[in-house]
């Protein structure tokens, strides 16, 4: 913010600066206010800023202009003489006359002031008044006087005068046809300043003049109805026509103003256009370079892709040829023997692992050695030689060739294995990893009897820590496993059936899931023994039971005859009544942890039951009553039943119901034999 300084006058004599002064107030700070660009004071401010004048200089110049204007009083001696043509004008053609010339103000025209117009009108009236002309004999010659009155009427009215000035033919308002020669800023310097003006200021200047709306109006050229018709339609038609003509003249005037602007001469505009053109060309070149670079990159990528495909194809052919030789030699087994499927898969898997470590030239070398071999031993020796070379050159350990049973290689490996100490953690083979993945999906975390997989994997059992550790590694994906293991798993998935079935085999049925492994007696023998025991016990029980129990048994017999009644309701009924000591003893044995298989016929399904407590048995009975076979809901019925029994899964509940139903069938069979 600019600071103002003030210089005070000299203090009077005898002035005591220490005592003779008084402070009333300090100078207040400046305040910024917005002003409207209107009024005579703003025009004076704009005039001073445009001319770079101070207040004193501007006041002096304005005073001189006022004095000069006062001196320009029209003198009678300087009066313009009327031409014969002017004196003979018809008042009816007042639109065709020059009003300034009629009043004698041709040299002033639009610069003439109101006082000058009044003086000129008074002088012309005194000279051409009809009363004065009557003395000279021209009594009816008042045509020129009427022209004077019309000129004064037009020029003294600001609106009508502006309309006349807008179409004044004496003023040449056509744009210059020739371009002014010389330096642009020397000619237009006061307006355009310098060439380093920013683009925003230059564009703002030209936008103002391109959108400038002058005060010129063209109502003066409106045509009037010569006949003076009072028809409204005629007047409206004439008004529309005049309005159209005014718009046309206004458009022409706007175009004239735009031609006056020296846009084509302004070097700043040329500079801006050149900069924009250079920017467009640079942008275009950048796009072309980007397209060219992308095309070259695509072409290069396509070439590399073709090379890789050709290389892959060549390597694939070499691998196929070597595998064909191995196949033709019966996978190094004797001709009269058929190699097992797992041996074939392992050999092919190990060959793929070997091929991944070899380049195309090395594959071609191996293929040449295999082709030159005369028998299977030669082919095997060529492969072993290549494996040995890889082992010596890198840290790779491979077992590419599966030794034939009884071969010296197998014996050597066996003797070496005896001398080696077993590591603390046994390495995982592909079969175990595959089984672990499938078991984790089959028996998720928290499932009971998850040791089913470990006991039936055919491998030495592993600890829980080993299983958990390996499961976490497998969950991380293929990146956590070795490339060899991943490839072997993929090969095994295609060629080997490693599914885990829901029902255990006969060997699996010998497992006690709550204790150590124990053998189980023949299933049919157990069923027959239970049936005989049930018959004897039922006979004793029937003799001791009262009539109330007999009636309940009769009801049970009637219910058992209904084929549509679900087996679960029969189980619940038998458990509620607590019939036959054989059923009680069977339930007691099952609660104590024994497992058995019961079958009423060879075609009946077998099941394995785990330990069931009395509480779990009661929960199962209540759940069967709550969710009968006719129950319909959003979820599975057995899911609801298993959720109501603590510590039991859906499968275990089904097996328990199946087991109890077989017991009921055995009891009824015993009753029928007794009868």
The answer to whether residue 405 scores a pLDDT higher than 80 is no
Domain identity same for 436 and 415: no
pLDDT at 344: 84
Q: What is the CB neighbour count within 10 angstroms for residue 240? A: 10
pLDDT at 71: 57
* Structural domain includes residue 465: yes
pLDDT at 538: 44
pLDDT at 72: 55
Lowest mean pLDDT among 259-263, 498-502, 588-592: 588-592
The answer to whether residue 253 scores a pLDDT higher than 50 is yes
| Domain count of the fold of the chain | 5
| Residue 597 pLDDT grade (very low, low, confident, very high; cuts 50, 70, 90) | very low
Domain identity same for 443 and 483: yes
pLDDT at 378: 86
Contacts of residue 647, defined as CB under 8 A and 6 or more positions apart, other chains included, come to 448, 616
Read off the pLDDT of residues 572-595 as tens digits, 9 standing for 90 and up: 444 443 334 343 444 444 443 433
pLDDT at 225: 63
Question: What 3-state DSSP class applies to 554?
Answer: helix
Give the predicted TM-score (pTM) of the model: 0.34
The answer to whether residue 80 scores a pLDDT higher than 80 is no
Q: Which residue has the tokens 């060439």?
A: 195
d(CA 473, CA 464): 14
* Structural domain includes residue 189: yes
The domain of 134 spans 72-166
Domain identity same for 360 and 446: no
The string over 400-419, giving b where at least 16 C-beta atoms fall within 10 Å of a residue's C-beta and e elsewhere, is bbbbbeeeeeeeeeeeeeee
Read off the pLDDT of residues 318-330 as tens digits, 9 standing for 90 and up: 889 888 888 888 8
Task: Report residue 18 as tokens.
Answer: 């220490």
Average pLDDT over the chain reads: 72
Which of the 8 DSSP states describes residue 220?
G
pLDDT at 523: 38
Domain identity same for 381 and 336: yes
* Structural domain includes residue 284: no
Domain identity same for 227 and 250: yes
* Structural domain includes residue 115: yes
d(CA 643, CA 103): 118
pLDDT at 390: 83
Lowest mean pLDDT among 96-105, 198-207, 363-372: 198-207
* Structural domain includes residue 106: yes
The string over 84-96, giving b where at least 16 C-beta atoms fall within 10 Å of a residue's C-beta and e elsewhere, is eeeeebeeeebee
Read off the pLDDT of residues 417-452 as tens digits, 9 standing for 90 and up: 444 444 456 777 777 777 777 777 766 665 555 555
* Structural domain includes residue 12: no
The answer to whether residue 530 scores a pLDDT higher than 80 is no
């Amino acid at each position: 913010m600019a600071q103002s300084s003030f210089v005070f006058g000299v203090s009077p004599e005898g002035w005591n600066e220490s005592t003779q002064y008084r402070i009333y107030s300090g100078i207040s700070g400046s305040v910024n206010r917005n002003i409207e660009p209107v009024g005579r004071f703003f025009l004076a401010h704009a005039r001073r800023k445009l001319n770079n004048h101070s207040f004193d200089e501007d006041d002096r110049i304005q005073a001189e202009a006022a004095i000069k204007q006062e001196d320009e009083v029209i003198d009678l001696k300087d009066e313009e003489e009327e031409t014969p043509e002017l004196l003979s004008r018809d008042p009816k053609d007042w639109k065709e006359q020059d009003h300034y010339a009629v009043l004698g103000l041709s040299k002033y025209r639009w610069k003439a002031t109101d006082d000058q117009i009044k003086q000129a009108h008074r002088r012309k009236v005194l000279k051409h008044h009809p009363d004065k002309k009557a003395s000279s004999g021209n009594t009816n010659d008042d045509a020129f006087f009427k022209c004077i009155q019309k000129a004064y009427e037009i020029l003294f009215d600001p609106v009508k005068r502006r309309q006349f000035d807008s179409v004044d033919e004496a003023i040449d308002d056509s744009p210059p046809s020739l371009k002014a020669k010389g330096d642009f800023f020397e000619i237009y310097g006061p307006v355009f300043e310098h060439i380093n003006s920013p683009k925003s200021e230059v564009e703002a200047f030209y936008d103002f003049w391109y959108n400038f709306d002058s005060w010129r109006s063209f109502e003066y050229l409106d045509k009037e109805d010569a006949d003076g018709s009072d028809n409204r339609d005629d007047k409206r038609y004439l008004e529309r026509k005049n309005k159209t003509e005014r718009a046309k003249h206004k458009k022409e005037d706007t175009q004239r103003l735009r031609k006056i602007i020296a846009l084509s001469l302004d070097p700043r505009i040329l500079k801006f256009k050149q900069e924009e053109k250079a920017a467009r060309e640079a942008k275009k070149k950048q796009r072309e370079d980007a397209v060219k670079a992308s095309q070259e990159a695509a072409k290069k990528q396509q070439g590399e892709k073709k090379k890789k495909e050709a290389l892959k194809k060549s390597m694939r052919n070499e691998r196929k040829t070597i595998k064909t030789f191995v196949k033709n030699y019966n996978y190094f087994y004797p001709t009269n023997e058929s190699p097992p499927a797992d041996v074939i898969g392992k050999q092919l898997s190990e060959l793929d692992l070997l091929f991944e470590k070899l380049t195309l030239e090395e594959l071609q070398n191996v293929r040449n050695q295999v082709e030159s071999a005369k028998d299977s031993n030669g082919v095997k020796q060529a492969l072993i030689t290549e494996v040995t070379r890889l082992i010596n050159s890198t840290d790779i350990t491979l077992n590419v060739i599966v030794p034939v049973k009884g071969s010296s290689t197998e014996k050597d490996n066996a003797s070496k294995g005896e001398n080696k100490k077993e590591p603390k953690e046994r390495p995982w083979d592909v079969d175990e990893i595959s089984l672990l993945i499938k078991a984790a999906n089959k028996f998720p975390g928290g499932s009971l009897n998850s040791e089913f997989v470990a006991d039936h994997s055919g491998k030495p059992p592993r600890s829980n820590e080993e299983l958990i550790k390996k499961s976490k590694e497998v969950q991380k994906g293929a990146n956590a496993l070795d490339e060899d293991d991943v490839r072997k798993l993929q090969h095994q998935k295609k060629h080997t059936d490693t599914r885990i079935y829901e029902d255990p085999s006969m060997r699996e049925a010998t497992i006690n899931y709550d204790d150590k492994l124990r053998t189980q007696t023949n299933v049919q023998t157990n069923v027959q023994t239970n049936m005989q025991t049930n018959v004897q016990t039922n006979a004793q029980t029937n003799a001791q039971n009262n009539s109330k129990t007999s009636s309940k048994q009769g009801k049970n017999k009637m219910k058992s005859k209904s084929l549509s009644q679900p087996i679960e309701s029969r189980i619940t009924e038998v458990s509620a009544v607590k019939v036959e000591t054989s059923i009680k003893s069977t339930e007691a044995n099952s609660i104590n942890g024994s497992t058995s298989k019961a079958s009423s016929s060879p075609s009946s399904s077998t099941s394995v039951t785990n330990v069931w407590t009395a509480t779990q048995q009661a929960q199962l009975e209540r759940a069967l009553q709550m969710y009968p076979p006719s129950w319909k809901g959003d979820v599975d019925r057995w899911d609801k039943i298993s959720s109501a029994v603590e510590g039991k899964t859906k499968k275990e509940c089904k097996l328990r119901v199946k087991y109890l139903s077989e017991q009921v069938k055995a009891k009824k069979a015993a009753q029928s034999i007794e009868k």
